Amino acid sequence: MALGLVAFPAIGLHAATTERVVTDRYSGLAISGFDPVSYFVDQKPVEGRPEYEYTYGGTVWRFRNEGNRNAFADNPSVYAPLFGGYDPVGIARGVSRPGHPEVFLVLRGRLLLFYGEAAREQFLADPVTVLTDAQSHWPQVRAGLTP
């Protein structure tokens, strides 16, 4: 499991999350049922509970408690993963690869999920270039995702 709170200067993290979010095909849950707020509050992924669900962007999100659910509901663009939870390294290449909820990074107040440890390490080697390329490719990649 990778965790990190990292700050890099001069990286714009403004790619919006949309209705095209990494969703578990069996459960229908966003980011496999992990609580997106937990990455910020607990600095690690925590599984959400069925009694604390919230629908956003056409997807069901789970939370560990009511406070986390309410924080997300008040400002989902803060807590939802960047690029809908798709791996930014893949997006930078024009490919949609779902990020794994346990391979993550919180960067400048945004959650990034990675396909695997190798992708996370590749990102950390040159985050500015990866994010610039990912933001450039995201609209095209997003358009190719199944709604």
pTM of the model: 0.87
Confidence of residue 145 (pLDDT cuts 50, 70, 90): confident
pLDDT digits (tens, 9 = 90+) for 68-83: 999 999 999 999 999 9
Q: If you write DSSP's letter for every residue of 6-20 in order, what string do you get?
A: E--TT----PPP-S-
Mean pLDDT of the 39-62 span: 96
Residues 131 and 83: beta-carbon distance below 8 Å: no
Alpha-carbon torsion, ordered 144, 107, 129, 85, to 10 deg = -10
Check whether 9 has a pLDDT greater than 60.
no
What pLDDT is recorded for position 146? 72
Report the alpha-carbon distance of residue 112 to residue 102 in Å, rounded: 11
Kindly report the CA angle at 99 between 67 and 94, in degrees rounded to 5? 130
Tokens 């500015």, residue? Answer: 128
What pLDDT is recorded for position 119? 98
Check whether 4 has a pLDDT greater than 50.
no
Name the pairing type of β-strands 100-107 and 5-6: parallel
What pLDDT is recorded for position 10? 44
Here the tokens at position 97 are: 């690869």
Tell me the CA end-to-end span of the chain in Å, nearest whole number.
29
Check whether 121 has a pLDDT greater than 90.
yes
